């Protein structure tokens, strides 16, 4: 049994991490920014996250930290220059946590980074390797800089660090574009995606939290950076059809060439949104399989079914 603090414990991933770690027999302590998180009983409150955050109480008696809290990627970012805002939370907040954790005897930090720290696109048939580093937007830059800050503190203090880079995460409680995509299919809306033959990696909440649980304890995880996914990469069209099967509502797709969709998106100022539908972004699981003998325990069909059940009940 290990005492583990989970930051961002009221969030989409953090809540599931707390539940999963408790099922594994650990003492999982939720750490949140404010008291308005009824979904996290007996949470430890730290306030806003940044260079001045006092993590002392949150770290009392803690052996391992799973750091999920972050300034999340925003599809419609309004700041003229959002990078300083991302850096304040994601970089300086992470550095501050690592420094205070090392002084208070915490053994390991498992950091939830993002595929965006590695890049936005991969070449067809050439998934991104675990050491890839080509962030394109402010969020991705901040996540990569947070990784480097964490590694610097680890090298200076002996604090063990583990970095996990998930691609798109889905599951019960999912929000954003994935939720909108599922709702569109559930309502039978026709979608111009029938000709899209890209490949995208994604990961179910269950598979992500399973790897986090392994990385909390595995000696071989220390000092490593891992990609995580469901182990099967789908085209956007194939994903729509799988979602349709899970929902019991066949996806209504009609073919429009990807180049045409991209051109229309540029004209409408929606290039980034369309890129996530037509572009290829695959990650390589070779490193995590070899280092930890880990494979995703949940199939895509199981993950989509779990999400579809949630959608029918709670939406």
Domain 3-173+204-229+283-296 -> CATH class: alpha beta
Full pLDDT tens readout for the chain, 315 residues: 899 999 999 999 999 999 999 999 999 999 999 876 667 777 899 999 999 999 999 999 999 999 999 998 765 566 678 999 999 999 999 999 999 999 999 999 999 999 999 999 999 889 999 889 999 999 999 999 999 999 999 999 999 999 999 999 999 999 999 999 999 999 999 999 999 999 999 999 999 999 999 999 999 999 999 999 999 999 999 999 999 999 999 999 999 988 888 888 788 777 777 888 889 999 999 999 999 999 999 999 999 999 999 998 876
- How far apart CA 259 and CA 283 sit, in angstroms, is 24
DSSP secondary structure of 72-116 = ---TT---SS-HHHHIIIIIIHHHHHHHHHHHTT--EEEEE--GG
Query: What's the Cα-to-Cα distance from 244 to each of 82, 182, 184, rounded to whole Å?
Result: 36, 8, 10
Please give the pLDDT value at position 17. 97
3-state secondary structure of 246: helix
CB–CB of 17/9 below 8 Å?
yes
Burial of residue 3, with CB atoms counted within 10 A of its CB: 0-12 exposed, 13-18 middle, 19 or more buried? middle
Kindly give the interhelix angle for 300-314 and 176-186, rounded to the nearest 10 degrees: 80
- To the nearest 5 percent, what fractions of the chain are helix, strand and coil? 45, 15, 40
- Check: CB of residue 303 under 8 Å from CB of residue 204: yes
Is residue 282 within 8 Å of residue 124, measured between CB atoms? no
Instruction: Examine the residue annotation and report whether 139 is marked as an active-site residue of this protein.
Output: yes
Q: What residue ranges do the domains of the chain occupy?
A: 3-173+204-229+283-296
């Amino acid at each position: 049994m290990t005492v583990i603090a989970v930051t961002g414990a009221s969030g989409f991933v953090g809540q599931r991490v707390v539940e999963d770690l408790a099922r594994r027999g650990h003492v999982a302590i939720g750490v949140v920014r404010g008291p308005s998180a009824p979904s996290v009983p007996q949470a430890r409150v730290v306030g806003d996250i940044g260079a001045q955050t006092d993590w002392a109480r949150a770290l009392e008696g803690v052996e391992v930290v799973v750091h999920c809290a972050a300034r999340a990627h925003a599809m419609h970012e309004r700041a003229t220059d959002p990078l300083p805002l991302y850096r304040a939370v994601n970089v300086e907040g992470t550095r501050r946590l690592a420094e205070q954790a090392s002084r208070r005897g915490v053994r390991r930090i498992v950091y939830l980074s993002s595929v965006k720290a590695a890049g936005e696109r991969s070449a067809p048939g050439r998934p991104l390797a675990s050491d890839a580093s080509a962030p394109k937007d402010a969020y991705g830059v901040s996540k990569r800089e947070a990784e480097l800050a964490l590694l610097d503190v680890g090298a200076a203090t002996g604090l063990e660090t583990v970095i996990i880079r998930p691609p798109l995460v889905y599951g019960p409680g999912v929000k954003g574009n994935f939720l909108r995509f599922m709702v569109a299919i559930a309502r039978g809306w026709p979608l111009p995606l029938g000709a899209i033959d890209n490949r995208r990696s994604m990961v179910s909440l269950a598979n992500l939290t399973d790897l986090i649980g392994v990385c909390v304890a595995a000696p071989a995880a220390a000092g490593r950076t891992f990609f995580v996914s469901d182990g099967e990469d789908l085209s956007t069209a194939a994903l729509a059809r799988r979602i349709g099967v899970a929902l019991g509502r066949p996806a209504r797709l009609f073919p429009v060439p990807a180049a045409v969709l991209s051109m229309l998106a540029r004209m409408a100022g929606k290039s980034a949104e369309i890129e996530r539908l037509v572009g290829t972004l695959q990650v390589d699981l070779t490193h995590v399989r070899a280092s930890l003998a880990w494979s995703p325990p949940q199939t895509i069909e199981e993950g989509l079914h779990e999400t579809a059940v949630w959608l029918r009940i709670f939406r």
